[in-house]
Structure 1
């Protein structure tokens, strides 16, 4: 992507209407632009052949589609692909393509780095650099070879989506709008540690699925794992979630990374049942992928199965998420961290 031209990608139909009006183009040009990008997925303004040559040249003076291909990719033996994108500022972000039978999911990033600094997350160790624009978020979908076979998108990559909610909501609008990708909100999940203002706004303004990073039902321990607990406790969060209906279109799930000897005993399972009793939700149990310089380990499968079975037997539906891509820097943030470190080392030599 050029740093001097403005990307058209990520603009809503209303924004495109404003743009063409300012340029003195016919109103219907906005719909044409949306169709070329979100339906036909062109790479350049020159390909928009039903626009007059004059209007294409006018657009190109200050605008571009704004799509850019991944700069690197790693392919796993299980079919998982991790893509590395570079922003105009030279930062790196990751997306992960996960094929699974009849599903094809893309995990996208919403920020460069992250402010949340969760103990178990490599992205958090990078610190926060920038929030992505809607164009940069959508480019992760727009510019991969598998884009037309995707069945689901999850905002579970680098960054905290609720810390960049304006741009995330703009991207969700394009993904679900009639003029955009025309996806059902049921195909999209947004994952968050839970930020109070962002949570309420997301629940009010979007119908997409919600996944909350939980990882411990005990506030004091969750605070050690996830500093965001200090500002907005899991108990407060659950009380807010109880005000909303998750029985129909939108699904509520909780992500629970299971750490050996930390949160994998039935004491934790019992407290989860107590905390979430009566809330229409599901629990996704995730085995921990080790990251450098963090004294946490993944638990064994027998413990995970016992944990899952206890939850399900007591009314809290739980699944164990299959580990994918362990041979290709599977943990979020590891590939971008490795790339950044390699460039620093090259600069120092």
Structure 2
């Protein structure tokens, strides 16, 4: 019988585990401490539980830790990890060191339903969502797990299409009985999933990033089919009604494509669209993927776009491009591994 993972469970869920297995209720906090503070990988190591209770737990549960099956190291220090999830499915996790910061980019799904035309993960189609255990495992099982300062849900998949498991993982990460991280250390990125955004803003204090990529609805729709289901104007209306102060940051992701969305007219339209919002825009250079005609914008055009936004009162920065020598685009490594199989 396949064992149930303890990793990724909330304190309430661990209390249920304790009760149904005859452990005292307070044992749930002890288990949580072993999982998230001491970060053990075997139930046998839970030394403050009786041997009888450890053996009982081991019959039905395991920790749920799995090491990555592959890692690629870039000359700039970036490391891309490949995790096997289930049988022959794979997801990517990226470690990004930058001076005094160490950011981990985690995945939430195998493949993606959103089918953005510029995304290699979308080209894979959708296979399944990850469990909270599979999400948390990415954080604990990378080489520099203990050095992480920030976490971003910007890997494979749409986080808010896997809302229950992502919210469970965020609870583990930010609760005192879990990792006890400040929500300010975590950013969740979405293509604009309205229902997910509502619940996320109600139940979490983590930062929010929204993928925009064009200020014009018809142009956005051509590269992001989600525009039909969740129009960006509706997303912005929702966000304007919410409070974004120093406690929570709102940012918009904008990939620049040469000759498509990188003109100064686009910058002006974007500035008008975001006027009055407490937000910032992250400009991102496109990493080419097979079978896609969209091209990268040169740095001079990116800088002009950034300066235009800043001059129009919208804070904009250019995100440093990392890991270009190790399948930089999200989904490239997992697609290559899948094709080998």
- For 1:89 and 1:166, locate their aligned partners in 2 and report how far apart those are by CA, in whole Å: 23
Cα drift, residue 205 of structure 1? 1.0
Alignment match, 2:195: 197
Following superposition, which runs of at least 4 residues in structure 1 exceed 2 angstroms of deviation? none
| Residue of structure 2 in register with 1:234 after alignment | 232
Secondary structure at the aligned position of 2:72 is classed as strand
TM-score of the superposed pair, with normalisation by structure 1: 0.97
- The Cα shift of 1:89 comes to 3.0
**CA-to-aligned-CA distance 1:141-196 (integer Å, 9 cap, x gap):** 01111111000000000000010000000000000000000000000000000111
Look up the match of 1:281. 279
Residue of 8, 11, 29 corresponding to 2:9: 11
Give 1:86's aligned residue: 84
Per the normalisation by structure 2, the TM-score is 0.99
Provide the C-alpha distance between the structure 1 equivalents of 2:46 and 2:198, rounded to a whole number of angstroms: 39
1:222 counterpart SS class: helix
- 1:97-108 to structure 2, matched below 5 A, reads 97-108=95-106
Instruction: Describe the SS at the equivalent of 1:260.
Output: coil
**Distance in 2 (alpha carbons) for counterparts of 1:108 and 1:133:** 13
What per-residue deviation string (whole Å, max 9, x for no partner) do you get for residues 215-247 of structure 1? 001000000010000001111110100011112
Secondary structure, counterpart of 1:170 in structure 2: helix
Q: What is the total number of aligned residue pairs between the two structures?
A: 341
106, 111, 120: which is aligned to 2:109? 111
Q: Partner of 2:75: helix, strand, or coil?
A: coil
Residue 21 of structure 1 corresponds to 19
SS of the equivalent of 1:284 reads: strand
**Aligned residue in 1 for 2:326:** 328
1:311 equivalent to 2:305? Answer no
Q: Secondary structure at the match of 1:94?
A: strand
Q: What aligned pairs does 1:138-177 form with structure 2 within 5 A after superposition?
A: 138-177=136-175
After superposition, the C-alpha distances for 1:51-102 in whole angstroms (9 at most, x for unaligned) are 1100000000010000000000000000000000001232100000000011
Distance 1:209 1:114 in 2: 22
Post-superposition offset of 1:39? 0.3
Deviation readout 1:2-32 (Å, 9 max, x if unpaired)? x800000000000000110111111111011
Distance 1:271 1:235 in 2: 13
Q: Write the deviation string for residues 227-283 of structure 1: whole angstroms up to 9, x where unpaired.
A: 000001111110100011112211000000000000110010000011010110000
- The offset of 1:118, in angstroms, is 0.2
What SS class does the counterpart of residue 297 from structure 1 fall into? coil
Separation (CA, whole Å) in 1 of partners of 2:34 and 2:324:
37
The runs of 5 or more residues in structure 1 that have no matched partner are 344-349
Paired position in structure 2 for 1:346: none
Q: Deviations over 1:197-224 (max 9, x none)?
A: 1111111111100000000010000000
CA offsets per residue over residues 30-52 of structure 1, 9 Å max, x none?
01100001000001001111111
Unaligned runs of 5+ in 2: none
Superposition pairs of residues 63-78 of structure 1, within 5 angstroms: 63-78=61-76
1:347 maps to what in 2?
A: none
Provide the rounded CA distance (Å) in 1 between the counterparts of 2:7 and 2:88: 19
Residue 58 of structure 2: aligned partner: 60
For 2:86 and 2:107, how far apart are their aligned partners in 1?
Answer: 15
Match of 2:208 in 1: 210
- Matches of 1:26 and 1:107, distance apart in 2: 37
| Aligned partner of residue 256 in structure 1, secondary structure | strand
Question: Whole-Å Cα distance in 2 between the matches of residues 49 and 88 of structure 1?
Answer: 30
Given the alignment of the two structures, is residue 219 of structure 1 paired with residue 209 of structure 2, yes or no?
no
The counterpart of 1:136, out of the listed 115, 134, 137, is 134
Distance 2:192 2:33 in 1: 35
CA distance in 1: counterparts of 2:41 and 2:245, whole angstroms? 40
What is the alpha-carbon root mean square deviation over aligned residues?
0.7
